[in-house]
Copies of this chain bind each other. A is one copy, B any other.
């Protein structure tokens, strides 16, 4: 059989206008998951997606979940021995406020051109994640148009609560583990490296979160009556938190760095070739100097070093003027970004030990741990990764950036933990796409090259 890829790519070119029209249809549905008044719209967006999959030969339907409905579809390849992959995406979108900052209504998709990005699809959900999901669907469509089949057996799972931290996904995966199992998860919900370089995310930091309260006096005290003589929980809290890092930025929690390895020479080489500019990255945050551990590069700090951050702190009086109170308690929320080798349970235990060792007399500690996820790293030499990388290089003319993410993607952990599936994370959105912000957009080039990229990745994974 001759190489079918040229005809598949040609089919994508022929489908450009209809593809845009289909995406616009989906974008017109205001499927905001975090506002219950849009629940019917979420159901409509799910139904739209199931119909779309039906057109592509999937047996697809909308399933109830503990949250918004899930869309599940199956399509068996006619190719003998075709690998089985699961594609995951989400149909829900972020809220649109502040509405006044949108140049046009967020659910009236249209094309704009800012002279920099070329034509852009502007609408809520255009890049996060409807546009990205459609790149995969349209690649499947082109394969069918050109060859009558897809050389992969496909399961598709499109959820409706990703913007609410996928809080219903874990339960659904566990309840449907057998049906949803495949050899690999494909996810299209991330960014390209830049306009001319694709990217595959190969590491994610894990997450552990904790809320702590230090209580002291049995009631709020007047700081005239007791100031300088009674323990102030804010003093205790700031002393504990102020000692979390040493002068070199190293986290002082016992055992925090146990199991953490330094990046390999090959990894450092890859980073070197990315042409990453730490000054530009920091400048986007209004900063000039890296913080955190001394002697580590910025990419290392974000991608492969664990971190401890206080995300919130509160206690005592926060209003205008003066209130001379010694509060009965003070609280903080912390998060730990974890890398492979670190165990969330051990981090919680080490943190508790760290705090208790510094707790003054008469103080009580309340700790509440939030669910943790481990850090994740995919070996760049893993076969599926190498195949996908070659496919992307063939489309873009440059090899993809193999990047890390400093954040955590709970769904990736969920697929790994519940179904023992690795994830191939490829996305085509750009850093300036304003996901979660007014005037969200998705470049038409992201949309088209994304579709072409998936067409090639499908071929590559089919082997």
Contact = CB atoms under 8 A, between A and B. Distances in A.
Interface of A: 205, 207, 209, 216-219, 221-232, 234-235, 237-245, 282, 285-293, 298, 301-302, 305-318, 321-327, 330-333, 335, 337, 360-362, 370, 405-408
A389 to B, nearest CB: 24
A173 to B, nearest CB: 21
A228 B251 CA distance: 10
By CB atoms of chain B within 10 A, which of A229, A313, A407 has the most?
A: A229
Contacts of A292: 228-230
Copies of this chain in the oligomer: 2
A291 B232 contact: yes
Given A216-B286, A227-B307, A228-B293, 11 more contacts: A218-B286, A223-B335, A223-B337, A224-B408, A227-B406, A228-B302, A234-B312, A237-B238, A311-B322, A314-B314, A321-B370
B287 A313 contact: no
A323 B209 CA distance: 9
Contacts of A232: 291, 309-310
A226 to B, nearest CB: 6
A335 B221 CA distance: 14
Given A224-B205, A224-B408, A407-B224, A324 B301 contact: no
B312 A231 contact: no
A322 B370 contact: yes
A227 B307 CA distance: 6
A174 to B, nearest CB: 21
A1 to B, nearest CB: 44
Contacts of A245: 235
B231 A305 contact: no
Nearest to A320: B211
A309 B217 contact: no
Nearest to A317: B312
B313 A330 contact: yes
Nearest to A225: B406
B325 A285 contact: no
Contacts of A313: 234, 237-238, 313-316, 330
A216 to B, nearest CB: 7
A325 B312 contact: yes
A259 B134 CA distance: 74
Of all A-B residue pairs in the complex, the 7 with the closest CB atoms, nearest first, are A224-B407, A218-B286, A242-B242, A228-B307, A312-B316, A238-B241, A312-B317
A312 B326 CA distance: 8
A272 B189 CA distance: 73
A316 to B, nearest CB: 4
Nearest to A358: B242
Contact of A231 (B216, B291, B302, B408): B291
A291 B230 contact: yes
A286 B316 contact: no
Nearest to A333: B317
22 contacts: A207-B324, A209-B322, A218-B285, A218-B286, A219-B285, A224-B405, A226-B302, A228-B406, A229-B290, A229-B406, A230-B282, A230-B290, A230-B292, A231-B289, A234-B311, A238-B238, A238-B244, A287-B362, A288-B362, A311-B322, A311-B323, A322-B333
Given A287-B216, A361-B289, A370-B321, A309 B227 contact: yes
Contact of A230 (B219, B285, B318, B335): B285
Contacts of A302: 225-229
Contacts of A327: 311-312
Given A286-B219, A361-B288, A310 B227 contact: no
